[in-house]
Structure formats: structure tokens, C-alpha cells
Amino acid sequence: MLPLLLASSSAYRRELLSRLRLPFTCASPDIDESRLPGESAQALVRRLAEQKARALCAAYPQHLIIGSDQVAVLGEQILGKPHDFERAHRQLSNASSTSVTFLTGLTLLNTTSGHCQVDCVPFTVHFRELSSERIARYLHAEKPYDCAGSFKAEGLGVSLFRATEGSDATSLVGLPLIRLVDMLLREGVEIP
């Protein structure tokens, strides 16, 4: 098996990938993550996931490189990482009693063969009605300022949900493992 490289510095993605019990290393790609004019959210995450993998291609020949990128979409608006309390509060207030779809772009690049698999995995969160006070209590308790959508689904954030919908709950955290296993199997990686 070719060595596996996760093109990410995300602790969340690292933890998810470790669930597969495969040896891997991590490296952070340096790419411009700006949205192109007129680019759809799906096209954006697919492009960025592939760019992240390709950015490390020269430095990691003879590797399988995993790239991933995620955005949260509320209506037509892409929600980024809030970075602070005020933005997070505004995001969760806007999500109250509505649904947010998380789109996770995923790439597996074989740097030996050049074979590149790219996909986008959606996952939808249906939010409860959230009062300003409840949002503030949640944000003070968990401080999810580095998470698109302003919550941590693997933590207390689940208390904000009315329901979830999608084929792979791990895509919500940023690395769709079910789809990744499909890609790895196509590359001859045996799991387990």
C-alpha cells in the first residue's frame, strides 16, 4: 500500500481518519481558499479538496493524498468559520428553526498513477428553535469558533438539532469516512 497523507492540519479530520486504523501522516497545504465568481458551494468544496491534495503532490510522490474541504450552506448563503462569539451567535440565530446543509468535498489522489477521485458529500442539520439565551449558553460552553456553522456536532452542539439527514454522519465533522473507504478500496487499500 502506498503511504497515506492527510492534506490537512485539522485535529477533527485527523481524529476521524484515525478511526480507520491505517497509518498516515499529515501535512498542511498552502492554497488560496477564496470562492471564484459565480462558483456554487458544491463546486467550491470539490475544487478546494482537489487543490489541497494536488498542492502536496510534488513533496509527497508515491502517496495516496486525501484532501477535504467543507462549507455550511443556509439558503444561498455560505457560512464560514465564525472566529468569534458575535458571528457565531448570528449564524446560530439565522439557523434557528431552519436547516443548514454541510457540503464536504473529498479527494483521494494517487500521486504514482495520477488517478484522482473527487466527490461532494452533503449532510443536513435541522435546527430546533433557538433563543438568544440558549445560543449564548451553548457558545460560552463549547466555543465552536473554528467550526463552520458555529457548532460541534461531536459535542454539545447536538443539543441544538431537531434532526439530521444524510448518508454519512462523519461528513458533518469534515471527513466523510464511508465515501473515503469507497475511494481507498478502489486504490487497493484493505480495510480492515
Determine which one of 30, 69, 119, 146 is catalytic: 69
Q: Are 116 and 107 in contact (CB under 8 A)?
A: yes
Q: Which 3 state secondary structure label does DSSP give 24?
A: strand
- How far, in Å, are 33, 58, 87, 105, 140 from residue 174 at the CA level? 16, 25, 20, 9, 23
The kind and range of the H/E element at 42 are helix 41-55
Q: How many other C-beta atoms can be found within 10 angstroms of the C-beta atom of residue 56?
A: 21
DSSP string, 125-168: EEEPP--HHHHHHHHHHH--TTSTTS--TTTGGGGGEEEEEES-
Q: Are 151 and 91 in contact (CB under 8 A)?
A: no
**Active-site annotation holds for 182:** no
Residues annotated as catalytic (active site), given as ranges: 69
